[in-house]
Amino acid sequence: DAMVIQNPRYQVTQFGKPVTLSCSQTLNHNVMYWYQQKSSQAPKLLFHYYDKDFNNEADTPDNFQSRRPNTSFCFLDIRSPGLGDAAMYLCASKAGGTDTQYFGPGTRLTVL
């Protein structure tokens, strides 16, 4: 089945140690999103790619970066994780010109 896949589902890192979260989609969507969802809060958009064009939200910290090497894959890099970055990270995709985003299962990040 076509879907959005996130790996790993659970990630533990140490304070200040760089970490990369992975997302892939088999839907051939040209738009991909990364959301951060802290405990008991709404998902908050960090950035998105429209094709190869990167769009950063104004309040996304510089600590967060993203790469999209091809249509299917998108990575979230956290350069120096702090305790406040512990959250669920959700990846989503959609076809440009449509309006429905499809979400992956998320990666739960723990920072020790």
* Beta strand pairing call for 4-7 and 19-25: antiparallel
Shortest reach from residue 13's CB to other proteins, in Å: 18
Binding site for other proteins (CB under 8 A): 4, 6, 31, 40-45, 48, 50, 55, 90, 92, 94, 97-106, 108
Between 15 and 46, whose beta carbon lies closer to other proteins?
46
Shortest reach from residue 80's CB to other proteins, in Å: 26
Shortest reach from residue 99's CB to other proteins, in Å: 5
Between 12 and 80, whose beta carbon lies closer to other proteins?
12
Nearest to 60 by CA among 89, 99, 98, 39: 89
